[in-house]
Structure 1
Amino acid sequence: MKRWLRQHRYALAIAVRRLLAQPFSSLSNLLAIALALSVPIVGTAILLAAQPVAREVSVSPEITLFMKRDAPTDAVNDINSKLRNEFSDDVVDTRIVTRQQAYKTLQRNPNWADALSVLPENPLPDSIVVTLAESANLASRADTLVKTWREWSSVDLVQHDSAWVQRLEALLRFVRIGLGLLALGVALVVLATVFNTVRMQALAQREEIAVARLVGATESFVRRPFLYLGALIGLLASLVAIGLSALALSPLNAALAQLARSYGSQLALQLPNGASLALATLAVVILGAISALWSVNRNTRF
């Protein structure tokens, strides 16, 4: 066990020494990977901030049922009771708006007052405003309810603009897919950068590796420092990326706070939680080690 630990400690020391031996090149590689990593981190922060806003926007979608003009006087009350009893899982609240209430509301609007004054009678129907319960598939569920309620004999029109819900869901889905593709692109950047770094190190240490093999060094002993070098690059780049992302969120939050105040709201971007960042860092470290293993296997065959 002590021998195993001593070998790994030696490999880590060699990796650190090789990383410090070329500071400009190492710093350039670290910054390249860190900048690539910071983009999905900031994107994830924006997505996490947008999701609560989306839930608040879509928390109380409404559907309006307009009654037929010749419907019985008690039809609106019957349908209101039917909505509350038979659709209790989908409906949070219902509100009856009589034709007289709607007419008085329009009369108070100066844009409609003149037009209504020339009409011989109230042209507005009774209506029921239905507030739907929030659900994961809100848009599709709302469309199903609209189709069902349109079939009722006393209902003349069911008004529901589900396009905004669908657009919102599509936008968030697009952002998630975009972040996934971006993360894949970042993984390729990590692989390519670490591969090239280890390749240059292997070529620079060509004679040292040849001598080590002549005196009986095993392949694992020769390649282990390069694996630590790849993992170390991934770790340091991840830490730098988190720091750059935190710095980038500061001016973004200042601009966002001003925009949110104009809408009477509060919104702030925050980094993903520590567990998510730790998991992402571990993934980058593993990618770095894999890339280093691939590179050293290809470039130390001499």
Structure 2
Amino acid sequence: MSAKPKQRDNQGFFPRWKRQIGYAWQNVFNDFRQHIFASLLTVTVIAISITLPTICYLLWKNVNEAAHQWYPTPNLTSYIQKDLTQTETEELVAKIKSYDEVESVTYLSRDETLEEFRLWSGFSDALELLEENPLPAVAIVVPKEEAKQTVILHELQKQLLTLKGIDDVRLDDSWFTRLTALTGMVETIVWTLSILMVIAVSLVVGNSIRLMIFARRQTIQVMQLIGATEGFILRPFLYSGMFNGLISAIFALVLSEIFIYQIDSIILDVSSVFGTVFHIRGLSWDESLFIILLSTMIGWLSAWVATKKYLQITQQNN
């Protein structure tokens, strides 16, 4: 009496689904072991395809971080006319602060600018020979984060030059323009390599799945003849594509960490020349998880396209 309910439970939806999942994964692992050399070669090729854009992304991310550390912001130095009174100077500084693009303004009086010049120039003895202070007061303008663009900064410079009491406004943005061009170039390379990576991974996984289908075409035909569903036939190949993508992504992350470890000491020596300490940062957990999920999804999609195309061809021939 107790055997019938147990047999009925084994024929339920979830037990059958569990057995099919186990059967599919068993086929994946068996095929991987039987063709270990070809499987490892496929995984290596995919891993290298993922590693190249990952390294470029790490370089782009660290270049941006180094730029903020070494060059925190492009400032505008406004030179104030010497004949302004204290009240007029305060009104001028307040007017500069009222601009929407301005984050803050640091005012240095004529005495303060002279002291700064004496401290950094090395001409303190020569300055003692002067009868009066030749330096003007300055207002150092720090733009807001959203205003740190070449076009906006030059427009702000033109607006400050129109203010009464401003002799000149200097914007040393040559390094900023070069740095923006450099980071833009690296970003373009990252996106280009990422697109090429997606294409390469899709082609490699698709070709690997096609070879598996060709090797097991007779088995697939027999399964179709005995009434196997399309999902049952597709499942082992889909899991194989996912498995290749997953293992390749993990291997690519290991290669990326090895790259970071190798060049970190070199970057540290270079940064010490600039009087700072900078360490290369690797991928965060979120970034690593994204790469793994993306590679797994590409593997699944490539396997689905290749298998689906084969089944359509067989149905047309039949």
Q: State the match for 2:28 in structure 1.
A: 15
The 5 A counterparts of 1:74-223 are: 74=85, 78-84=88-94, 86-87=96-97, 89-97=102-110, 101=114, 105=118, 124=134, 126-139=136-149, 140-223=151-234
Contact 1:91–1:131 under 8 Å retained in 2: yes
Give secondary structure in 1 for the equivalent of 2:72: coil
Runs of 4+ in 1 over 6 A off after TM superposition: 120-123
Residues 141-177 of structure 1 show CA distances to partners (whole Å, capped at 9, x for unaligned) of: 4323311221123323211122322332333233223
Distance, in Å, in 1 between the alignment partners of 2:19 and 2:120 is 88
**TM-score, normalized by length of structure 1?**
0.85
Shift of 1:259: 1.4
Q: Measured at CA, do residues 218 and 126 of structure 1 come closer, stay the same or move farther in structure 2, by a change above 3 Å? A: same
Shift of 1:97: 3.2
Q: State the match for 2:10 in structure 1.
A: none
Shift of 1:181: 2.0
Q: Measured at CA, do residues 31 and 121 of structure 1 come closer, stay the same or move farther in structure 2, by a change above 3 Å? A: same
Distance, in Å, in 2 between the alignment partners of 1:263 and 1:169 is 19
Residues 213-265 of structure 1 show CA distances to partners (whole Å, capped at 9, x for unaligned) of: 22221222112111011010000100111111111111111211121222222
Contact 2:97–2:105 under 8 Å retained in 1: no
Q: State the match for 1:54 in structure 2.
A: 67
Contact 1:62–1:129 under 8 Å retained in 2: no
Q: State the match for 1:35 in structure 2.
A: 48
Give secondary structure in 2 for the equivalent of 1:158: strand
Q: State the match for 2:288 in structure 1.
A: 277
For 1:237, the aligned partner's letter is S
Give secondary structure in 2 for the equivalent of 1:285: helix
Structure with more contact order per residue of length (Cα contacts < 8 Å, sep ≥ 6) = 1
Give secondary structure in 2 for the equivalent of 1:66: strand
Distance, in Å, in 2 between the alignment partners of 1:228 and 1:21 is 16
Distance, in Å, in 1 between the alignment partners of 2:116 and 2:55 is 50
Distance, in Å, in 2 between the alignment partners of 1:99 and 1:254 is 40
Matched, 1:290 2:301: yes
- The equivalent position to 1:44 in structure 2, one of 50, 57, 62, is 57
- In structure 1, runs of 5+ residues without a counterpart are none
Moved more, 41-50 or 204-213: 41-50
The RMSD of aligned alpha carbons is 3.1
Contact 2:32–2:39 under 8 Å retained in 1: yes
Distance, in Å, in 2 between the alignment partners of 1:81 and 1:159 is 21
For 1:210, the aligned partner's letter is Q
Matched, 1:242 2:253: yes
Shift of 1:57: 3.4
Distance, in Å, in 2 between the alignment partners of 1:44 and 1:222 is 38
Work out the percentage of aligned pairs sharing the same amino acid.
21
Contact 1:97–1:129 under 8 Å retained in 2: no
Distance, in Å, in 2 between the alignment partners of 1:188 and 1:107 is 55
Moved more, 233-242 or 12-21: 12-21
- In structure 2, runs of 5+ residues without a counterpart are 1-13
For 2:88, the aligned partner's letter is D
Moved more, 233-242 or 90-99: 90-99
Contact 1:64–1:128 under 8 Å retained in 2: yes
